A and B are shown apart, each in its own frame.
Chain A
Amino acid sequence: MRLTGAQALIKSLEMEHVEVIFGLPGGAILPVYDPILDSSIRHVLVRHEQGAGHMAEGYAHVTGRPGVAMVTSGPGATNIVTPLADAMMDSIPIVVITGQVATTAIGTDAFQECPITGVTMDITKHNWLVTDAQDLPRVVAEAFHVATTGRPGPVLVDVPKDVSNAMMDWYWPASLDELDLPGYNPRTEGDPAQIRRAAELILEAHRPVIYAGGGILKARATKVLRELAERTGIPVVTTLMARGAFPDRHPLCLGMPGMHGNYTAVTALQRADLLIALGSRFDDRVTGKISAFAPDAKVIHVDIDAAELGKVRRPDVAVAGDCRVVIEEMVRALESLGLGAAGGPGGPSATGAVGAKGTPAAARPDLAPWIAQLRAWQEEFPLAYDQEEGGALKPQFVVEALRDATPDDTIVVAGVGQHQMWASQYWKFDHPNTWVNSGGAGTMGFAVPAAVGAKVGRPDKMVWAIDGDGCFQMTAQELVTASAERIPIKVAILNNAYLGMVRQWQELFYEERYSEVYLSPDLPDYVKWAEAMGCVGLKVESAEEVAPAIEKANGIDDRPVVIDFRTDAFEKVYPMVPAGASNDDIIVGPSGGEGGR
């Protein structure tokens, strides 16, 4: 069958079971937009190419399948650089197709020419410049394979206009053997000797903690993680990228560690004698000052990316492999060392998982004192804020009200800043892939487009974006996309009229010298703006109005809703470990008198 390159490209996407493309056409990608009219693939027309990239990410976050974005050359391509960098940091599988000027014009400074493969070389897992239409099906298959296997990540395929227009003989690679990837062989199986050594360390530990990262979700390892935790009685912290990987309401869940983690999660890592790092990467926002991090802990580190092992903290046992496969093997190794079934569904009783006589498990230290210590910390240092009656609306109050008024499998999408931390702290994530945020890159403006992508991927679920006013202004135009495409997301703006996190740092570390952080609560008028974009716009100024507004928003399913919550500009995110400080120096809350202003 003879096809144009453009037809072959779209057909290849169909072969990869792509159901939706987020994109925006332009000159160099024009030929590829024609066969879209005849394709079963849905196209969502964005208002800015950055939105297409974040939508693809949001889609990938909640479905586990690769998100696809398509844009034109030059500025179209450079506008999607930020989402690529974001997806690279958070290991999100997206496939970005860019148009390119004709091969004959490459290098001539042609109109809308940009060497996008060079620009994105370091922020994609891999990229391809296709110079022969005959290569297109193979390259598309390679791109999806690379994006979704091993450590997932973004890929980019750059397609010159003459390649799209050229004729080719259609084929589809029948198997991986027909791909041209001799240097790409991701391994999933861990080394059995290392896994056994890990199991031995687990049975020797007095104060173990499972330090679960985003790799648990990527590897679809939530069930085996729960089995490991319950059978060993070991508590679990879930990093910002792993919220929902282990249920927040589970008795063994300690919540989020890190710079704005809760006291117990942070201190559990600090006092542990064994860290079981599963798909986590010792990010500086988790470890604080690295030389002071978990000083007494031995480390078991499991990651599919061997380059993560020893990158920051030297592990005592390193296992390169897929988290699900390795954890399954770890549970088996524990069984072979005598570990019995769990004593209960979790909690202190689970720590009594008794080993068979004469086995290493039988000699296992009692975890009860450790669990008791953790419970004591939880009681002494809970997350706290004070919503005074008639006082300024606290952002945490809004998050809790939203949490309590929505289904527990609601998908929550955040931007970056204070609102993101409050959302992560106060939501109860009991289901995997219900928390979508920009973790590693910290991309402001992520929430609205990512929520659109998430809703497209999971139209059956309620999708709430919790956004800041600064973030919202960066990408709000994608609400036009959402209205036009009937994608009914809901957006809660925690509007404190400031670039709040920067303001917080200036207050705490720059002697309250506020430099360029004030935004104004009324400019823009968020309600009018929402209405202009085809959404329902609501404004909430007091605690009493919160629940009714959320109820109203939850009842609207034919268009997006935006609620402008006017929140207390002086509220800060606590606990906090100052940048560069040891996690031992965690600040639990405002000192006396400071918080009430």
Chain B
Amino acid sequence: MSPSSSASAAAHGPAPRHHIVTAKVENKAGVLARVASLFSRRGFNIFSLAVAPTDDGRFSRITIVVDVESAPLEQIMKQLDKLVNVVSITELAPEEAVEREMLLATVGAGVSAAERGDLRALVDEFGGTVVDDGGDRVTVMLAGTPSRIDDFEDLVRPFGITELQRTGLVALPKLSAGTALHSITGPGVTGHSITGHSVTGTTQGEAG
């Protein structure tokens, strides 16, 4: 069973300040640069980003994991929504999303035959596959929750990693979770101050 992503995230993966933003955008040249620019102009680093066309080739879905406080993120979300090429945008709370990531790793250089057997057993146990076999090294693939990928990466490290590539997170709303949090399709306002000054009125519930 895969561990709950939110429970183990603190150990390896995204810190609590990380947010998952998913946007449906037009599949056109320059759109990714427009999206990325709204983060970079504020000096915010994008932790991971995945983009590919949806089932409808006119559109792509971008999943961004970003390290930002909630208040500036809300402003960025509204600015993203204003981009002409962005069709819709949603922030996914971890407990309301299914999240998956993929890892490719070349491992096993210089290990004994017995250890190579242990490596294959580990790959099997995690449900991964060996996608390339170079004799003394193998390239393994694993898809799963980010925390499971983290665990696998830790366990495979003793076998000697020579190359590693993770895709970054992709995510969709959980079907059981109902509507996703903080979806921006209309002009609703939750009203956090971007500068963090005194806020009048009641405060929105904090997501934690």
Contact = CB atoms under 8 A, between A and B. Distances in A.
Contacts of A122: 37, 41
A122 to B, nearest CB: 6
A244 to B, nearest CB: 27
Interface string A283-297: 000000011000101
Interface string A304-340: 0111011111111010110000000000000000000
B190 A182 contact: no
B194 A311 contact: yes
Interface of chain A: mostly helix, strand, loop or mixed:
loop
Interface residues of B, number: 38
A406 interface: no
A212 interface: no
Interface in B15-53: 25-26, 29-30, 33-34, 37, 41
Interface of B: 25-26, 29-30, 33-34, 37, 41, 58-59, 74-75, 78-79, 81-88, 184, 186-195, 197-201
Contacts of B30: 117-118, 121, 129
B82 A290 contact: no
A312 B200 contact: no
20 contacts: A118-B30, A182-B59, A183-B26, A183-B83, A183-B85, A183-B88, A291-B197, A291-B198, A298-B200, A306-B78, A306-B186, A306-B189, A307-B81, A307-B82, A310-B74, A310-B190, A314-B199, A318-B189, A320-B186, A321-B187
Nearest to A296: B200
A509 interface: no
Contacts of B74: 310
B203 to A, nearest CB: 9
Size class of A's contact patch? Answer: 20 to 34
B186 to A, nearest CB: 7
B71 to A, nearest CB: 9
Nearest to B83: A183
Q: 10 nearest interchain CB pairs?
A: A320-B187, A310-B191, A306-B187, A307-B78, A318-B189, A291-B197, A183-B87, A314-B191, A126-B84, A309-B189
A307 B33 contact: no
Interface of chain B: mostly helix, strand, loop or mixed:
loop
Contacts of B198: 291, 295
A328 B190 CA distance: 25
Contacts of A311: 75, 78, 194
A318 B192 CA distance: 12
Given A121-B33, A183-B26, A320-B187, A306 B81 contact: yes
B125 to A, nearest CB: 44
A299 interface: yes
Given A290-B197, A316-B201, A183 B86 contact: yes
Contacts, number: 89
A183 B194 CA distance: 25
Nearest to A305: B82
A277 to B, nearest CB: 13
Contacts of B86: 183
B37 A121 contact: yes
A117 to B, nearest CB: 7
Nearest to B192: A310
Interface in A100-144: 117-118, 121-122, 125-126, 129
A314 B84 contact: no
A524 B114 CA distance: 88
A183 B27 CA distance: 11
A315 B84 contact: no
A84 interface: no
Contacts of A146: 84
Given A298-B201, A314-B201, 7 more contacts: A118-B33, A121-B34, A183-B25, A187-B187, A310-B192, A312-B195, A315-B189
Contacts of B199: 314
A356 interface: no
- Looking at A310, A315, A318, the one whose CB has the most chain B CB atoms below 10 A away is A310
Contacts of B33: 118, 121
B87 A182 contact: yes
Nearest to B200: A314
Given A126-B84, A129-B30, A183-B26, A310 B200 contact: no
A181 interface: yes
A299 B75 contact: no
Interface string A176-214: 000001111001000100000000000000000000000
Contacts of A306: 78, 81, 184, 186-189
Interface string A539-578: 0000000000000000000000000000000000000000
